[in-house]
Chain A
Amino acid sequence: MAGKLSTSEVQVKRRPTAAFAGLYLSLLIALFFWTGMAVAQSIAFFPLLDLSEDPNGINSPLTEKVRQELILRGKTLIPAEEVMQFLVRNRIRSLGKLSRYQTSLVHKELGAELVLQGTVCQIDNDTTPLLSLNLQLSRTSDEQIIWAHTEQLYYSDLTSLLGLQDPHNLADLYEPFFNSLFATLPEHPDIGGEAMNTLNIDTVIISPNYLRSGENVSCKIKMRNILDDKAIQPQLIVRSNGQEHPLILDEEGYYLQTSWPVEENAGSYPITLKATWPSGITQEGIIGSYNVDVQEPGVKLHLIGTERDGQILFSDKLIIIPKLVEPEPIDRWEIMVIDEEEETIVIMGAAGNIPRRITWQGKTTLGGIAAPGIYWITFKVWDRAQRESYAEAEVQYRPEPPQILVEATHEEDRVRVGLDNIVNTPLNFWWAKFFAEDGRLLKLVQGTELPATIELDNISDPEYKIQCLLTARDILGNQSQLNIANLFKPVESGVDGEEISIETEWVEEF
């Protein structure tokens, strides 16, 4: 009995040992798997953006160096070729700044748990080396940045009193630099973050942005994961001014869209998107806005010319200054010049706000010179809601200079000279000088109105040669000069010195 008992005792004593062994084995297996899981945390390390070069620079040598340093520290990296293929496949042109959606694609396409992106802020590889590097580690499960660090090292930060082992090039900085850079990098970061309920909006198109009351506004939303059957899709509703508008997938299956008639009252109306996930969580935020415009901008014209009897006259150039009655941003404008036969001889316009001033120099759009006459200037504007306003003004284009008719008659011992202007533009001034054969000044006459009659006394010889110089200028600045060698001799144009010329300034020429 005693022996059996003792055997039994031995057996009883042995059981805990076996249990401990089993537990120990289980712990070992668990530790093995845990270690294996920890090691299996793969990192997609993206090429380094090099801001010391340009906004889109890439630093391949330093990228390779960081890869080696990460591998030395026991990190599991996705092969560089796969990362490059990922960048090409997803048309990612900007390094160092993946969006959360792109980070989620890294998880989906490369199977990486973590994404490491870096930026070279400063680098100098001369005798005074400098290196500054920024790294950001993101978790692909919830697309969160979980670690970030900027490390910088200048050669003088490492110089010692005796100058021994002072750095002389960039490679000399590497060891202390990377030790410090990776000192805080988590060994086994938590990769189990839950994906946030994120609205992966790719594009929002609200058109038009400016409407008249009663018009329809359209809202189209493109979600990034709309074609992904596995993605959890929230229920989406668009809200504006307290009204809900359900979104419907368009025929192509790309856009969720809706439209509704806008309000009667003027104002800016925000559009909000309300998302409700199956979990009951809701998110609501402004995605855009539209504006209702109920008033025309109104426009008036101010013309700078010469005003005469309520009409604007010009000869050289007409300055047109358009002004908005109710100033607001303008979508486009147009100016037209219409002649007496209702033919448009000038048409031009541009997008954007109205010009401060426009100068018309009497030319047509095709480059020709407009004929003298009456013209109508029409200026049109369209605001952002395409409401049209216009203003019209009548002008007279009178580019021709005064044409003076000179008629001389001899009566006994005097000569009577009649002057008249056949152009009906009023004169600003005129003057006439009459010279005798010996060059003596017979008479100087001046005035502001024509017709006029001048009498030259004490000339009994009807063959007496009298020279006449005459200048006339109208109120628009058109000027003509007349040089008649002999008042009584019929003049052949271009032979005897008669000439009419347009002058731009007051110059007395002989």
Chain B
Amino acid sequence: MKYWVRFFLILFLFLLAGCGGKAVPIIQKLAPLPAQGSCKIAVLPFLNKISYPQGGPIVNKIFLSELVATGRFQVFPEGDIDSIYQQLLIYPLEQPTREQLAMIGGRINPDLFIGGTILKMDERRQGDYVHTEMTLILHLYDGKSGKLLWSTYHHRLGSEYQQVMHLGRINSISGLARRMSQEIIADWLEQGMIPCTE
């Protein structure tokens, strides 16, 4: 009996070790999201403030895919945004002005724009594992006027997802970007974002 108690105690401690503090995205609501819902979304090229090669395009694609994967949004292809950026002479690494956002909105008619800035992106080998860390800020703009509505800050380490042994640990920056995107989208939906109704 004593052995069983010890066994369960050790198992409980093992499980507890995997339950690190959960970092949730920090959201700042500056104005309400569109009343008609946020079905059609245009993801703008993310600004890259880090030295990680192609960090911006990688996170951009992953975030866009996670929006599509929810099955609750109509997401405009990257090619549409790229094409309008070229026409309006907007450099991909610069944030469009509110007027330019209104013009992009006039062309494709989205409900929301999502823009982002990657503040930190780190991937380093640590023995058999990889230290991964990312910090990003996402902005939600009105699809018609380009007005800033919501802003979300999120920071995560790949090791924060580690459970028992090495299980759960995220060893690639793309894996971390994917997981963080899922958390941000889930948080938005929880905070009242209305996706497509059909």
For A286, the chain B residues whose CB sits under 8 A away are 102-103, 105-106
User: How many interface contacts (CB-CB < 8 Å) are there between A and B?
Assistant: 122
Contact B175 A152 (CB under 8 A): yes
Contact A132 B172 (CB under 8 A): yes
Contact B58 A51 (CB under 8 A): yes
Contact A100 B174 (CB under 8 A): no
Cβ of A69 to closest chain B Cβ, rounded Å: 18
- Could you give 29 example pairs across A and B, Cβ below 8 Å? A51-B58, A55-B57, A94-B82, A100-B80, A101-B83, A121-B174, A122-B172, A128-B125, A132-B172, A136-B65, A136-B68, A144-B74, A145-B64, A148-B68, A150-B61, A150-B174, A154-B171, A156-B129, A156-B171, A159-B128, A203-B87, A204-B87, A272-B106, A273-B106, A283-B109, A285-B105, A286-B105, A287-B107, A288-B103
Asked if B54 is at the interface (CB within 8 A of a chain A CB), the reply is yes
Contact B61 A119 (CB under 8 A): yes
**In whole angstroms, what is the CA distance A103 to B76 when docked?**
12
Asked if A102 is at the interface (CB within 8 A of a chain B CB), the reply is yes
Cβ of B86 to closest chain A Cβ, rounded Å: 10
Contact A138 B77 (CB under 8 A): yes
Asked if B1 is at the interface (CB within 8 A of a chain A CB), the reply is no
**In whole angstroms, what is the CA distance A154 to B131 when docked?**
12
**In whole angstroms, what is the CA distance A107 to B109 when docked?**
23
Contact A121 B62 (CB under 8 A): yes
Supposing A122-B174, A285-B105 touch, asked if A97 and B65 sit within 8 A by C-beta, the answer is no
The closest CB in chain A to the CB of B69 belongs to A148
- Per-position 1/0 for A120-142, Cβ under 8 A of B: 01100000101010111010000
Which 7 A-B residue pairings sit nearest by Cβ, starting from the closest?
Answer: A285-B106, A99-B79, A148-B65, A286-B106, A154-B171, A148-B68, A132-B174
The closest CB in chain A to the CB of B75 belongs to A145
Asked if A270 is at the interface (CB within 8 A of a chain B CB), the reply is yes
Supposing A94-B82, A122-B173, A289-B99 touch, asked if A134 and B62 sit within 8 A by C-beta, the answer is yes
Contact B66 A97 (CB under 8 A): no
Supposing A51-B57, A121-B58, A156-B171 touch, asked if A150 and B66 sit within 8 A by C-beta, the answer is yes
For A99, the chain B residues whose CB sits under 8 A away are 77, 79-80, 82-83
The closest CB in chain A to the CB of B171 belongs to A154
**In whole angstroms, what is the CA distance A159 to B167 when docked?**
10
Question: Which interface class (under 10, 10 to 19, 20 to 34, 35 or more) fits B?
Answer: 35 or more
The closest CB in chain A to the CB of B70 belongs to A148
**In whole angstroms, what is the CA distance A147 to B175 when docked?**
18
Asked if A38 is at the interface (CB within 8 A of a chain B CB), the reply is no
Cβ of B107 to closest chain A Cβ, rounded Å: 6
For A138, the chain B residues whose CB sits under 8 A away are 77
Cβ of B112 to closest chain A Cβ, rounded Å: 15
Asked if B178 is at the interface (CB within 8 A of a chain A CB), the reply is yes
**In whole angstroms, what is the CA distance A201 to B86 when docked?**
13
The closest CB in chain B to the CB of A143 belongs to B77
Among candidates B54, B61, B107, residue contacting A52 with C-beta atoms closer than 8 Å: B54
Given contacts A97-B78, A144-B74, 19 further A-B contacts (CB under 8 A): A54-B54, A96-B78, A99-B79, A99-B83, A100-B80, A119-B61, A122-B58, A122-B172, A132-B175, A134-B62, A136-B77, A148-B68, A149-B69, A150-B65, A152-B172, A199-B107, A272-B106, A284-B106, A287-B103
Contact A149 B79 (CB under 8 A): no
**In whole angstroms, what is the CA distance A134 to B128 when docked?**
25
Cβ of B42 to closest chain A Cβ, rounded Å: 12
Among candidates A102, A135, A203, A287, residue contacting B106 with C-beta atoms closer than 8 Å: A287
**In whole angstroms, what is the CA distance A136 to B62 when docked?**
10
Q: Which of A150, A156, A268 has the most CB of B within 10 A?
A: A150
Asked if A98 is at the interface (CB within 8 A of a chain B CB), the reply is yes
Asked if A407 is at the interface (CB within 8 A of a chain B CB), the reply is no
Asked if A157 is at the interface (CB within 8 A of a chain B CB), the reply is yes
Cβ of B80 to closest chain A Cβ, rounded Å: 5
Contact A96 B61 (CB under 8 A): yes
Cβ of A458 to closest chain B Cβ, rounded Å: 84
